Amino acid sequence: MAKSRQLSFRRILVTRILLLFVPVLLLGELVALSKARSSLLKTARQNLTESAISKGEKVTDAIASLKTNLLSASQTKVIQSGSPTKARKFLIQLAQQLPTNIECIQLTNIQQSNIIASSCGDKAIRLSRASFLNDEVDVKAILPPKPGTTGQRNTQNQLQLLLSAPVYNRYGNLVSTLSLQTSLHQQIKNQPGSLTGSMVVIAEDGTILAHPLAVRVGTNIQDSPNAAQLKSIVKNAITGRNDSTNLYFIEGKEYIAGYTAIANPITQQRQQKLVVLAVTSVENALFGLEEIKLILIVLTVGLIGASLLASLYLAPYLARPLEELRDYALNIHSHHAVQPIPHNFQIREFDQLAQALDQMVERLKAWAEELEIAWKEAKTANQVKSQFLATTSHELRNPLNIIINCVRLVHEDLCDNREEEMEFLKRADETAIHLLGIINDLLDISKIEAGKLSVVTAPIDLRQILLEVINLQSVNVQQKGLQLKCELGNEPIPIEADGIKLKQVIINIIGNATKFTDEGSITISTEVHDIDGKSQVILCIKDTGIGVDPTQQHKLFRPFVMVNDSSTRKFEGTGLGLAISRNLIELMGGKINLESAGLHQGTTVIIRLPVIDISLLTTSQNEEDLTKESPHASAPLAVYDAPKLAADGENKETSEESLPPQPTVFSVFPKGEAYAKGTPER
């Protein structure tokens, strides 16, 4: 069976992969050829454009050099003297020294039109009437005679020029002309694959001054079959554009031409230009493509043969590790019988695959353990929630029983007097307020779990909020015989928070401190610090109560979790206060945490809130004052909800079965102590 599977695997390698591999190779060859052709044409265009620019610069430099040398020669004493022997010897030396191909240099008398001296014997240069402007050298192109006229036709398919310079005698009179006939650019046959190109020179009026075909020299581009394309090239070059293009230049054959424009030295109009082209055939530009084709064919055949041999050789070598890994994967479900995963395949990828399978099995085992732990935690959480429901039911049932009993006693007229009726009604009212606090906590925790708990922030004075809360809570503190120490300072502490929600949090924490402290004191202090360039106020509420075990402190801000059932039974509560407080403080952009050294060592709750600019607080207070003074504005109502003070042994919440907090007169000293004193104002 293993052998047949290896054969099957070999068949896949030899047939399917190979059948896919061959078309891909052929397609790749076509793409490579197309890319090579495009690259060769692009390179040819770039080289021809650079060649045209180079040819134009060479023509310009050559003409400038000839003009300078000719003008300098015309001003020598030998030429100005008019001596035929000396002048002829000088002209022969000059023709040999000049870098360009000089056909003839002649000194001609203007008045008698005879040759004084010549470097080419008695052969006369065909002169035209030269117009000397500011004693400059006159340059003209030598064109073949027009059809039907006599004269020697130029068969040298190159740019031929005639340069003439005035010669003056010692009295400053124009007596003769020094003329030079030259061929600036000899058209040579380029080697195959050369991208320098043949030079074509076209005047701005369309006259062809140089061309690879001698018959085209002297003609106009308007008479060419591709006149429109040549006109476009001339127009683009004159506008300063150096570029290349494809054109059908000779006998319908496709060529590539790079072009540029230079200042026309042949005319006295300085704005006229010459267009210089470097032209080569497309076949010459793609000269190396045949070699590339041959290389690609050899490479393709070699790759097909190599892939066939590799498929036949690698099939059994690759089948063995795959079968071993297959057997391992098939037997992995039987944990008691599974063998260790095979290794050492001598192939890195298979070894990595084996290692990955091993790691995957280990992760699955770890995930199974995590799922088991999570299931146990979920089961524990369900038990905790059930315990919470039982506790909450007890917390709800007792107040309801008290309210029902008190109301029935009054309703059934079982009280002895009016004072006893008022006492029962007062107790029912207090119990109803406590019951309302528990229900509000349940609603708040439901909003937290649903993500719908929100706050409305505004600039407020934290110190004023603390004074109001201390005034409310001082009664409970006084009833337990505890000291209330305050270190609030004299300056306002501007923060941006929800005043009502912040009061709820602070009342909750002070209520917890009061409930869980039997003797000692409760200290409330504020400090403003700069942390990372931002101001924060740190509010500390410290008590000397029962404390919290350090191992249990991380659970304090979780809803429904209770540290000690005995504390719950002793102090009562639902365990939601600190969870609600944490969410409210975080919604206001602050942080809250609890610190305790251990049991019976007290507890410190620390609240951190960002401080804002005091000017914002002043603006907010001014707006409130304007609202109060306006006769048309509705006066804001100071609504005081019953403090939401639930309690349990772990979260240290406050029971609300005491009297509702009443304003108490007390004194606050800067960084000192404040003691609750006096009688509650009724």
Sign for the pseudo-dihedral over CA of 577, 578, 579, 581: positive
- The answer to whether position 375 is within a domain reads no
- The answer to whether position 670 is within a domain reads no
Residue 269 banded pLDDT, cuts 50, 70, 90: low
- The answer to whether position 24 is within a domain reads yes
Closest CA to 33 of 299, 308, 306, 307: 299
Dihedral Cα 92, 96, 99, 103, nearest 10 deg: 60
Task: Please count the structural domains in the chain.
Answer: 1
- The answer to whether position 611 is within a domain reads no
The CB density around residue 473, as the number of other CB atoms within 10 Å, is 26
Residue 396 or residue 104, greater confidence: 104
Three-state secondary-structure class, residue 401:
helix
Q: How many angstroms separate the CA atoms of 400 and 414, rounded?
A: 19
Q: What tens digit of pLDDT does each residue of 296-341 get?
A: 888 888 888 887 777 777 767 777 777 777 777 777 766 544 567 7
Q: What tens digit of pLDDT does each residue of 412-426 get?
A: 888 888 888 888 888
Q: How many angstroms separate the CA atoms of 32 and 206, rounded?
A: 41
| Helical H segments across 412-461, by residue range | 418-450
Name the one residue in this structure whose structure tokens are 């006492």: 423
- Report the chain's mean pLDDT, rounded to a whole number: 76
- The answer to whether position 586 is within a domain reads no
pLDDT at 254 over 80: yes
Whether 272 and 211 have beta carbons less than 8 Å apart is answered as: no
Cβ burial, residue 442 (10 Å; 0-12/13-18/19+):
middle
Residue-range definition of the domain harbouring residue 45: 1-311
Residue 639 banded pLDDT, cuts 50, 70, 90: very low
- The answer to whether position 598 is within a domain reads no
What mean pLDDT do residues 556-560 have?
A: 66
- The answer to whether position 351 is within a domain reads no
For the chain, what's the residue count?
Answer: 682
pLDDT at 593 over 60: yes
What mean pLDDT do residues 183-191 have?
A: 65
Q: Furthest-apart CA pair in the chain: how many Å?
A: 165
Which tokens is 44 given? Answer: 């040819």
Name the one residue in this structure whose structure tokens are 């048309």: 632
- The answer to whether position 283 is within a domain reads yes
Which tokens is 96 given? Answer: 């040999």
In this prediction, residue 457 carries a pLDDT of: 86
What mean pLDDT do residues 90-100 have?
A: 83
pLDDT at 565 over 80: no
Specify the range with the lowest mean pLDDT, choosing from 212-216, 381-385, 434-438, 557-561: 557-561
pTM of the model: 0.44
